[in-house]
Amino acid sequence: MPFELTILGSSSATPTQNRHPTAQVLNIRERFFLIDCGEGTQSQLVRYKIKYSRIGHIFISHLHGDHYLGLMGLLSTMHLQGRNNEVHLYGQQELMDIIELQLRLSQTVLRYHLIFHPVKNYSGTIILEDEDLSVSTISLNHRIPCTGFLFKEKPKPRKLLINKMKQYNIPFKYYAGIKNGENYEDDFGNIIPNSELTISAGRPRSYAFCSDTLYLEHLADEVRGVDLLYHESTFMHDLLERAKATFHSTSIEAATVAKSAEVQRLVIGHFSARYKDLAPMLEEARTIFPECELALEGRKFVVHEQN
């Protein structure tokens, strides 16, 4: 089952000819999650053939325009297209105030149920959890309250070795328990260990989204060991003081977090419009953390299943 990130936008405060503001789609087992929704997100969804109807959950990190100004248009289009399925929206309380104001002034009553989940800038709060995954908050440090998101798969039941099940004549009614880790005891009291009857279904996969933020040394502890980390990299390191003044990070700082956290892969984005050529930024980050890639629009980052 897929675990795949698609980049829709990776520019910082202002769009450029080739880069839209921040927006990403995360596909976990064919469930689609939109993370941030800058201007032009609708067009990018169309461009990369992602159906609006597939998106059931939308996460907004903070209320700077380059991270949410595409949201109202997307919600309106879902309404105009006759959507019936509910949409879950996660963000600061003021986000819902803005939406309610726009709906009231346009005299619009959405055809679908918009369920709002207020998010506060604390770390470790689980804001979505079901049998497949959990999403928890990551506290970031920006000019206004800003929250990152940690997506983690739940462990899947172990896979049965059918040849072993047949070899020991194990009745079907015991299959579910064995998939969940139970041993099997036959009619003679013999214990067949679970490890002989099953194999792992794969290690749970994870993705952390961290934008926008000052460099935070302790952030490494919150994203430790994730398969894929997105960390903002607004500036190259020669503009460190500019990054600090605007509560952003540099490529070196993003790579340092990734290295300290021992993540598998790093994706950097939220690039300042001043950079026409991003190759030097990538090269700089790779001096610290080689497994680094640029969040270029249309790029897909796949996390494969591993035992």
Tell me, what amino acid is at 40?
G
Token look-up 């680094």 returns 292
Q: Which two tokens stand for residue 200?
A: 């792992």
Which of 119, 9, 144 is CA-nearest to residue 66?
A: 9
Neighbours of 98 (CB within 10 A): 15
Q: Which two tokens stand for residue 155?
A: 């462990």
Cα gap 232→248, rounded to integer Å: 8
Q: Are 209 and 231 in contact (CB under 8 A)?
A: no
Tell me, what amino acid is at 301?
F
221 is catalytic: no
Give the strand order in the sheet containing 133-139: 126-129, 133-139, 147-153, 206-210, 228-232, 265-269, 292-294
At 156, phi and psi to the nearest 5?
-90, 150
Determine which one of 66, 186, 187, 277 is catalytic. 66
CA 212 to chain centre: 14
Q: Which two tokens stand for residue 246?
A: 């605007």
For residue 282, give the 3-state DSSP assignment.
helix
Contacts 24+ apart (CB under 8 A), 109-114: 110/75, 110/78, 110/79, 111/79, 111/82, 111/83, 111/84, 112/78, 112/79, 112/83, 112/84, 112/85, 112/86, 112/87, 113/86, 113/87, 114/75, 114/86, 114/87, 114/89
For residue 24, give the 3-state DSSP assignment.
strand
Active site residues per annotation: 66
